[in-house]
Amino acid sequence: VALTSERYGVRRLPFSRVSCGDVAFFERLLPGRVLTGAEELELFNVDWLRSVRGSSKLLLKPQTVAEVSQVLRYCYERNLAVNPQGGNTGLVGGSVPVFDEIILSTVLMNQVISFDEVSGILVCQAGCILENLSQYVEEKGFVMPLDLGAKGSCHIGGNVATNAGGLRLLRYGSLRGTVLGLEVVLADGSVLDCLASLRKDNTGYDLKQLFIGSEGTLGVITAVSILCPQKPKAVNLAFLGCQSFAQVLNTFTTCRAMLGEILSAFEFMDDKCMELVEQHLKLSKPVTGCPFYVLIETSGSNSTHDEEKLSNFLERAMTSGLVTDGTVATDEKKIKASHRFTILRSMLWSLRERITEALTHEGYVYKYDISLPVGKLYDLVTDTRARLGRCAKNVVGYGHLGDGNLHLNITADSYSHSLLDAIEPFVYEWTARCNGSISAEHGLGFKKKCFIHYSKPKEAVLLMQRFKAMLDPKGILNPYKTLPSSS
């Protein structure tokens, strides 16, 4: 585990330390839902990548907004630091303590509050697992506007707190558009009820936007109101191989022009990603021998119409030489064929969704989540590969091409200060020169907070710090994360 707090010179702020009296108070408030054992807390103190580790000695599991309010009111009065935690699937060290902050887990806040089958508006507690919500709304003919590789364990509250993007953003937009309202508990325990279920509400400032993407530093999200689109009646997938990134870009341009409103995902992966997925996860790709691969999904209401559009696009892509090989999964209506489609669709998406998992088998992973102009997306991978040479085990690139979102991953047998020095701030300087963003969808967390100036002017950072000071004057909420010190 990398000792990142030492590397970045972070020192514990003068918060109070948890006393026996504090534990006794919480045990009375949350009977049977307080953890204090070192072994019990182990998984909650370490992030999913095992790259950062905290030393919290107390974890709380509230079930209601009233309990969260009482917890934060007490912590505020006692000057106890709090680390809100959902599914702990974050990739930038934002979901685990840096020192001994109290972990406030939303794991038991997992109830659906309401669902409107006319409007498709879902209201639920923040601890609901994304995949469970997806299954819930799909049974009612709708889909969640968000889909992630970590959907089996991530919480919707954490998704909102990090403004997670994912695989459906191309079609349904970001959470800033699909989240209609939030219930948030502020640092002093006061409850902000902005849990609206209206598509249009233009009364004053849109306060929920402050908390979307704030990574638990301004308040603890306890409930979410989110707009779910209707489930598409026809879904098709194509997995294609391209001989260059220029061909990937031209394929995307052609795809967007010919598929239009039914295009729901356009993902790209380089060959090294696929090699690692095959090697470590034993998944087989249906197309071989290409430097780049593309996964395209269409979602619509008429299978005949959609299949015809997809077929025309594929014919154009193949005859023009943009694509050298590919396979297609179409949504057949017959039961047996539909079952085969479901299996094939799952297999094709696994090739993309499980890249992160495959990379963890390589040793230590340096992860970068970047937004760039689409035309320059893969140049960063090429330049980083050339810069690092044999110092890195692998340098790979994949991501959401339709959103200009690159996932740059560098692997090594173990963590190395010298390798990190070769990567940072090179990657951020390169991104800044292209007017990109150093965080497209994972947030800044602990690992990236000191690099925010590469994407935001000092005036913007200062204003963010003022918001933080206003909403959390004692700085107890997720300290050491997202923003650099204001001192």
Instruction: Look up the CATH number of the domain holding residue 120.
Output: 3.30.465.10
Which of 206, 227, 248 terminates a domain? The answer is 227
Final residue belonging to a domain, choices 108, 134, 150: 108
Query: Does a structural domain hold residue 259?
Result: yes
CA separation, residue 158 to residues 85, 89, 129 (Å)? 7, 9, 10
Bond preceding residue 425 cis, omega within 30 of 0: yes
Q: What is the mean pLDDT of residues 413-441?
A: 94
pLDDT per residue as tens digits for the range 216-244 = 999 999 999 999 999 999 899 999 999 99
With 90 as the cut, is the pLDDT of residue 200 above it?
Answer: no
- Does residue 442 lie in a domain region? yes
Is 90 exceeded by the pLDDT of residue 342? no
Predicted pLDDT of residue 362: 92
- Asked if residue 434 has pLDDT above 70, the reply is yes
What angle is formed at CA 370 by the lines to CA 225 and CA 310, rounded to 5 degrees? 75
pLDDT band at 148 (very low <50, low <70, confident <90, very high): confident
Within a domain: residue 476? no
Residue 355 lies in a domain: no
Per-residue pLDDT, 485: 83
Q: 352 in a domain, yes or no?
A: no
In a 13 Å sphere around the CA of 212, the CA atoms on its Cβ side amount to 22
* Residue 484 belongs to a domain: no
Q: Stretch 335-361: mean pLDDT, rounded?
A: 76
Q: What is the CATH number of the domain that holds 40?
A: 3.30.43.10
pLDDT band for position 338 (cuts 50, 70, 90): low
pLDDT-wise least confident of 207-221, 327-341, 425-439: 327-341
Q: Do residues 191 and 214 share a domain?
A: yes
47 is a domain residue: yes
Query: Which band of pLDDT confidence, cut at 50, 70 and 90, is reported for residue 198?
Result: confident
CATH number at residue 266: 3.30.70.2190
Q: Which domain holds residue 52?
A: 4-108
Within 345-393, strands assigned E span 364-371
Please tell me the distance from the alpha carbon of residue 279 to that of residue 283, in angstroms, as a whole number. 8
Length of the chain: 487
pLDDT tens digits, one per residue of 370-387: 999 999 999 999 999 999
Question: In the prediction, which pLDDT does 348 show?
Answer: 87
Number of domains, the chain: 4
